[in-house]
């Protein structure tokens, strides 16, 4: 097999294919299977600030006793964190690949001490999964961006293990955001997050969840931005997420400039064995192209290296369809 080993946020991975954060990575048995299939690392199921607060709220008495409510909130948080720490410890005992913890949060309150505990439990890195809807019409966009920067700055001072940040694609200028995160010391970014999207059941007149899994077509958006960001912000690692459903998708993202590729939906749809298939396809392609290592071709099709980088800038179909009548 070709050498498909890569470096990502200071970690050495035997493959660029990472099992992304999901319910699948909350099971040590499944994590062991992912390692056997050749996963370079696993991102554990996220510890959700939102979920912890919701669970605590559902247990509140509603009788107006602040002390009791504080106890319930702290008890719920403590139990959730302890359970998560046990998952980290169990995973580290059972696999040799890097185990990356995931924190889904919207504030730095409490999460800094949790992050330190995660480091002490043996996690090899932390992936911060941050997103909130900017629904205050009177708040400038900079106010929301500052929340990301504040969290990044504080957590980098609190832990010594690598930290990546998983971002959404709704920023006005994501290049500027990532450049600032790099300056703060964030080791890598994951592009892009998939969020809960509401839908309307018109037959029953009720709110439902839209499709939660990605499709192969979703790779197009991430591919564009990974190519641009890897070319313009070269000193931060990038992990591609969303839309990678086969080995060809892995190869495309590496050519665009990603260090690693995270997969999730395809594992739910087709099984954990897809990781092995992706690695085999990557190996086959590298041999055909006579590449001995991933570094020999990574980023060859990025914004900075192709002959006409403007192809990544085009956002309209006019050039292609203006001659059609």
Q: Which two tokens stand for residue 163?
A: 């930290």
DSSP assigned state of 303:
T
Q: What is the pLDDT of the chain when averaged over all its residues?
A: 85
Distances (CA, A) of 215 to 10, 16, 259, 263: 30, 20, 21, 11
Q: What is the structure's pLDDT at 70?
A: 40
Q: For residues 261 and 303, which has the higher predicted lDDT (pLDDT)? A: 261
pLDDT exceeds cutoff 50 at 187: yes
Q: What does the pLDDT average to over 151-161?
A: 93
Residue with tokens 């930290």: 163
Per-residue pLDDT tens over the stretch 218-241 = 888 899 999 999 999 989 999 999
Per-residue pLDDT tens over the stretch 19-45 = 999 999 999 999 999 999 999 999 999
pLDDT exceeds cutoff 80 at 245: yes
- Label residue 315 by pLDDT band (50, 70, 90): low
**Number of Cα atoms under 13 Å in the Cβ half of residue 17:** 32
pLDDT exceeds cutoff 80 at 197: no
**What is the residue extent of each domain of the chain?**
6-321
Q: Where are the beta strands (DSSP E) in the chain?
A: 6-8, 11-13, 17-19, 41-43, 47-48, 99-104, 125-129, 163-167, 188-191, 198-201, 206-209, 237-241, 260-263
pLDDT exceeds cutoff 70 at 192: yes
Per-residue pLDDT tens over the stretch 258-273 = 999 999 999 999 999 9
Q: What does the pLDDT average to over 278-288?
A: 98
DSSP assigned state of 26:
G
- Label residue 67 by pLDDT band (50, 70, 90): very low
Q: What does the pLDDT average to over 76-85?
A: 73
**Centroid of chain to Cα 190:** 4
Number of H helices, E strands in the chain: 11, 13
Q: What is the structure's pLDDT at 302?
A: 94
Q: What is the structure's pLDDT at 109?
A: 64
> Check: CATH 3.60.21.10 for 6-321?
no
Q: What is the structure's pLDDT at 218?
A: 81
Residue with tokens 């892995």: 250
Residues 6+ apart with CB under 8 A from 223: 240, 243, 252, 253, 256
Q: What is the structure's pLDDT at 99?
A: 98
- Label residue 125 by pLDDT band (50, 70, 90): very high
């Amino acid at each position: 097999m070709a050498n498909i080993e890569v470096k990502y946020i200071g970690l050495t991975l035997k493959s660029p294919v990472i099992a992304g954060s999901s319910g699948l990575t909350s099971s040590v048995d499944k994590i062991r299977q992912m390692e056997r299939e050749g996963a370079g690392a696993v991102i554990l199921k996220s510890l959700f600030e939102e979920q912890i607060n919701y669970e605590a709220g559902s247990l509140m008495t509603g009788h107006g006793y602040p002390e009791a409510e504080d106890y319930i909130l702290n008890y719920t948080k403590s139990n959730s964190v302890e359970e998560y720490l046990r998952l980290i410890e169990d995973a580290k005992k059972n696999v040799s690949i890097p185990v990356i913890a995931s924190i889904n949060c919207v504030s730095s309150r409490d999460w800094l001490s949790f992050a330190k505990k995660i480091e002490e439990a043996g996690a090899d890195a932390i992936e911060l999964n941050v997103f909130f809807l900017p629904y205050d019409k009177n708040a400038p966009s900079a106010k929301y961006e500052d929340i990301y920067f504040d969290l990044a700055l504080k957590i980098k001072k609190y832990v010594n293990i690598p930290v990546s940040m998983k971002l959404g694609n709704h920023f006005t200028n994501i290049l500027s955001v990532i450049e600032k995160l790099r300056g703060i010391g964030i080791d890598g970014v994951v592009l892009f997050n998939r969020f809960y999207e509401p839908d309307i059941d018109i037959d029953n007149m009720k709110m439902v969840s839209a499709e939660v899994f990605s499709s192969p077509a979703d790779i197009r958006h991430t591919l564009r931005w990974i190519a641009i960001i890897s070319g313009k912000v070269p000193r931060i690692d990038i992990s591609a997420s969303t839309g990678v459903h086969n080995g060809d998708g892995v190869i495309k993202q590496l050519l665009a400039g990603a260090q690693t590729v995270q997969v999730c939906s395809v594992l739910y749809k087709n099984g954990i064995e897809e990781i092995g298939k992706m690695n085999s396809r990557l190996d086959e392609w590298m041999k055909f192209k006579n590449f001995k290592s991933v570094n020999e071709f990574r980023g060859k099709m990025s914004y900075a290296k192709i002959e006409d980088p403007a192809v990544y800038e085009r956002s309209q179909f006019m050039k292609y369809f203006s001659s059609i009548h």
